[in-house]
């Protein structure tokens, strides 16, 4: 079972867009992925078409609050892949468990006890803060996918994130296999190419060759509660996420 945390402490870099469309691409490749929304904003849940009927009784919140088994919290999205959704109630988990050092291990335990046998890749959409929720995601994950939008501040943020992961690795005495993917790439801008080249120089093969372009279909599909393959299967955005899934599978990351 590959557990992949999609994380960057910066907002708006394409974490949710990547989690949504990479999960959909893996589903089309018959890998039966499960996505977990770990952001109280619930944007992944919304973008997956679960805006109606998502009750607190069936979301990741009840795993943390009432210890409901994860397997009982899985929805099938309209596009046919599986999701454990989030609601705003998730924002209370930090306050509930903030000072309990054992709380960060809950998701890891839940996944290994209940979902490890399925062998399905699990993708976790993280929130932008490094609190109890994200620690749960990172401790449960063996891999971290870091989306970086093609702008200067994002590029700067990824160096800090990389250092933070190095510190965490030392503390936990384990490695996180990482990949960085450039998102919102605008081929009309020299800046996009410069940022990609600088990341390549610094991170080498950890940087995905596939770049996710800034495109209308990727921005519009969440409005319709659909991933890009269901919304616009022939769009450049669908081609980019299909290529990313292939690259990550071919390289053994997923
Ligand atoms: N490649 C892209 N092309 C166009 N719009 C994008 C792309 N990636 C993300 N967006 C849009 O940018 C905004 C932020 O993306 P999102 O995935 O929610 O970031 P995060 O989860 O990191 O906060 C959203 O409105 C999303 O639709
Ligand atoms: Mg998000």
Distance from the alpha carbon of residue 54 to the mean position of ligand 2, in angstroms:
18
Question: What tens digit of pLDDT does each residue of 35-91 get?
Answer: 999 999 999 999 999 865 555 568 999 999 999 999 999 999 988 999 999 999 999
The topology under which CATH files domain 3-250 is: Rossmann fold (3.40.50)
Residue from 82, 81, 83 nearest 59 by CA = 83
Q: How many CA atoms lie within 13 A of 118 on its CB side?
A: 17
Residue 166: count other Cβ atoms within 10 Å of its Cβ: 11
| Number of residues in the chain | 254
Distance from the alpha carbon of residue 31 to the mean position of ligand 1, in angstroms:
24
Least confident span in 18-27, 85-94, 114-123, 183-192: 114-123
Atom of ligand 1 nearest to the CA of 213: 1
- Rounded mean pLDDT of the chain? 92
Least confident span in 53-57, 86-90, 172-176, 177-181: 53-57
Structural domain boundaries in the chain: 3-250
pTM confidence score: 0.95
Return d(Cα 85, Cα 123) in angstroms, integer.
Answer: 12
- Residue indicated by tokens 């891999």: 143
Q: Is the CB of 138 inside a 6 Å radius of any atom of ligand 1?
A: no
Distance from the alpha carbon of residue 117 to the mean position of ligand 1, in angstroms:
33
On the question of pLDDT at 96 being above 90, the answer is: no
Q: Is the CB of 215 inside a 6 Å radius of any atom of ligand 1?
A: yes
On the question of pLDDT at 121 being above 70, the answer is: yes
Which segments within the chain are labelled E, that is strand?
3-6, 34-38, 75-76, 82-84, 122-126, 143-149, 177-183
Decide if 253 contacts 123 (C-beta within 8 A).
no
- Residue indicated by tokens 């910066």: 10
Distance from the alpha carbon of residue 125 to the mean position of ligand 2, in angstroms:
7
At how many degrees (to 10) do helices 152-172 and 190-203 cross? 20
51 CB contacts (<8 Å, ≥6 apart)? 45, 225
Q: Is the CB of 43 inside a 6 Å radius of any atom of ligand 1?
A: yes
Return d(Cα 115, Cα 190) in angstroms, integer.
Answer: 44
């Amino acid at each position: 079972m590959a557990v992949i945390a999609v994380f960057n402490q910066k907002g708006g870099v394409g974490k949710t867009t990547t989690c949504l469309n990479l999960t959909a691409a893996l589903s089309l490749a018959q890998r039966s992925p499960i996505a977990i929304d770990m952001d109280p904003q619930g944007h992944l849940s919304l973008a997956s078409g679960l805006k109606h009927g998502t009750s607190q009784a069936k979301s990741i919140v009840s795993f943390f609050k009432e210890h409901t088994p994860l397997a009982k919290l899985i929805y099938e999205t309209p596009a046919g892949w599986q999701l454990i959704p989030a609601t705003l109630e998730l924002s209370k988990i930090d306050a509930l468990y903030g000072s309990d050092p054992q709380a960060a291990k809950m998701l890891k335990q839940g996944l290994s006890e209940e979902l490890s046998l399925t062998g399905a890749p699990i993708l976790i959409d993280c929130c932008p803060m490094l609190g109890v929720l994200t620690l749960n995601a990172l401790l449960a994950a063996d891999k971290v996918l870091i989306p970086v939008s093609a702008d200067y501040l994002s590029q700067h943020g990824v160096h800090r994130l990389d250092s933070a992961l190095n510190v965490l690795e030392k503390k936990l005495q384990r490695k996180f296999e990482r990949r960085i993917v450039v998102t919102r790439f605008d081929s009309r801008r020299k800046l996009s190419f410069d940022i990609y080249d600088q990341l390549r120089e610094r991170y080498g093969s950890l940087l995905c060759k596939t770049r996710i372009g800034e495109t209308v279909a990727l921005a519009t599909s969440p409005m319709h509660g659909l991933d890009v393959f269901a919304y616009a299967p022939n769009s450049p955005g669908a081609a980019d996420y299909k290529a990313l899934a292939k690259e990550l599978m071919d390289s053994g990351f997923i």
